[in-house]
Homo-oligomer: A and B are copies of this chain.
Amino acid sequence: FEKLPFSDKTDLRKAYPLGLQAVPDEDIIRIHSSSGSTGTPVIIPYTRQDVADWSEMMERCFRLAGLTKLDRVQITPGYGLWTAGIGFQTGVERLGAMAVPMGPGNTEKQLQMMQDLKSTVLISTSSYALLIAEEIEKRGIKDKIHLKRGIIGSERWGDKMRARIESSLGIEMFDIYGLTEIYGPGISIDCHQHSGMHYFDDYLYFEVIDPDTLKPLPAGETGELVITTLAKQGAPLLRYRTHDITRLIPGECPCGCKFPRHDRIVGRTDDMVKVKGVLIYPAQVDKLLASIDGASSEYQIIIDHKDGKDVLTLNVEIDDVDNSMNMAAKIADEFKAKIGIKVVCIPCAVGQLPRNTGKTKRVFDNRVG
């Protein structure tokens, strides 16, 4: 399998508009498309069987999250060219629950329908779930809300945000994963154990590779997720590099479900660096700092190559600058223990590191090449 070539977004873009199509025109019943916000869009053609397979996976996701025919599922992601809305809806209908097809935006109407129809499940991005939770708190209408579960996808989100939404809405939340190139959302999901996301290995072959050496990593090791479709007809893909960072989880899940698991997506390979043979990605550092009292969320990782070896410096904001020495030692110890690398920690006061309205640059790699 390792001898097979990889495919990547660039290959797909070159195929625009319908170069990926692997069956005759009369067998294609639908297209979906990525937004094209970062370049030429990618168009994925679907056969009737592709739509049915996706819908089958989506139904499995909903079953893993405990949904039944009596659930009323408020679908807030978009419809149209994007794969989200209609994929969720088809799965809900296949399960036999009630789809409440809202589409994105119009929070006023979302809250009205949530109350009037007694919706029991919210499908949304994490940002939108947070916004809805905050609106419900602000209006004091929590007792009029009947939500029990959230199916949340499309963005990486931290435990803090998760806890906030869960407690504020009083729901259990399930991460759902997917990408336009591979059906859409619904190719893996959390079960109620919340100890990894089950993916459907009868439809998809998952590998995790080292993004530098491109060699597959053993289960348990974190790297880039690579997916091969096993049944897709309209646009099959071989070893497609998702650039999403995760790991395969060895062993069986206590939930009893036989489908294998991968861990939550912790970032993108664009955010990842390799230092002394170890992959480091910001989500790890986010998580590490969140676990240390007195450390803020703001940091910078600076990597230099000095005297023939990599040197890692971590600038980090701390609450109590009088306690800098202790904090520096503590953070460096934790870094070594949890991420496995020695780091020089330089604490500073909160507000000293740059703030950014867009995406904050956190990794500065000064090594050549």
Contacts and interface: CB of A to CB of B under 8 A. Distances in A.
Interface of A: 16-18, 25-32, 43, 45, 48, 51, 69-70, 79-81, 85-86, 89, 92-93, 96-103, 116-117
B98 A29 contact: yes
A18 B117 contact: yes
Contact of A93 (B29, B43, B81, B92): B29
Contact of A89 (B17, B43, B86, B99): B86
Contacts of A69: 25-26
A103 B17 CA distance: 19
Contacts of A25: 69-70, 98
Nearest to A68: B26
A31 B99 contact: yes
A261 to B, nearest CB: 30
Given A31-B98, A101-B81, A93 B17 contact: no
Contacts of A80: 79, 85, 101-103
B98 A30 contact: yes
A85 B96 contact: no
Contacts of A116: 16-17
Given A27-B96, A29-B97, A31-B101, 5 more contacts: A17-B117, A30-B92, A31-B98, A79-B101, A86-B101
A86 B116 CA distance: 23
